[in-house]
Amino acid sequence: MMNRLWLQGVRCAMGLAAAAAILAPTAAHAQIRQVSSSDDHHQAIGFTLGGFFPKGEDSRVTGDVLFRDLDDLVFEVKDFTGGSVSGEWLFALGDFVEAGVGAGFYQRTVPSVYREVTHDNGSEIEQNLKLRIVPLTATVRFLPIGRGSVEPYVGVGIGAFNWRYSETGEFVDTDSTIFRARYIAKGTAVGPVILAGIRAPIADVWDIGGEVQFQRASGDTKRADSGLLDDKIDLGGWHALLTMHVRF
């Protein structure tokens, strides 16, 4: 239920952003000269709010610990869909190009139980699977129709993804003994980022828009030290974002 509500919320946010982009030229016609970014505003500080959608089972990296856990535990990879927030600083490199740096935050805890084993009294053997990603990104964006009132754009960049993954709760040993434990892996992975979006002015120095991002990276779980069941954690997936900037 929560996932469905979240997806509906993200879709609503993206719809509002698209509507703002379409209606802004008419609703803000009298302000277009004042908010034109090409004349007076060459930098912007922005805030994004949206959702992170991890890669599905069929496209995850070989050796992914979540894929391996599905052999024994009851959960779905899509359960890791969750909210993400970020901030960014953009600066113009001309009328058709801008660069940016940003930082974000995503965290999700997913409950699970053993697929085929229970306690002697029939109660479930429960765990919490928790993934956190803090991306630091550097991007270059291309504005095909230039800087002006409504600005579609595409971009590429690179990200450093600081991550932490843990499994906490009850587990079953090879001799069927049930025990409590916590397994943790963390690190930083580097990978590419691609993005596309559109934004439009809503006031003299403010704009609003929608953006999608794709990130690709995987972390090393150091299986021998962490005790996790496989060697990798896939950090790839899509962000669907509502964006807002103040220009200066």
Average pLDDT in the chain: 88
DSSP labels for the chain? -HHHHHHHHHHHHHHHHHHHHHHHHHHTGGGHHHH-TTTS--EEEEEEEEEEEEPPGGGSPTTBHHHHHTTTEE--GGGG-EEEEEEEEEEESSSSEEEEEEEEEEEEEEEEEEEEEE-TTS-EEEEEEEEEEEEEEEEEEE-TT-SSSSEEEEEEEEEEEEEEEEEEEEEE-TTS-EEEEEEEEEEEEEEEEEEEEEEEESSSSEEEEEEEEEE--EEE--HHHH--SSSEEE--EEEEEEEEEEE-
198-237 pLDDT tens trace:
999 998 899 999 999 999 999 999 999 999 999 999 999 9
Tell which residue, 26, 4, 146, has the closest CA to residue 79.
Answer: 4
pTM for this entry: 0.84
9-25 pLDDT tens trace:
445 444 544 444 444 44
Task: Return the higher-pLDDT residue of 14 and 48.
Answer: 48
139-157 pLDDT tens trace:
999 999 998 889 999 999 9
Its domain, for residue 154, covers 2-247
Q: Which two tokens stand for residue 177?
A: 């003994």
| Count: domains in the chain | 1
Residue 147's pLDDT is what?
Answer: 87
CATH number of residue 54's parent domain = 2.40.160.20
| pLDDT at residue 36 greater than cutoff 50 | no
Residue 12's pLDDT is what?
Answer: 47
| Displacement of CA 231 from its chain's centroid (Å) | 22
163-179 pLDDT tens trace:
999 999 999 999 999 99
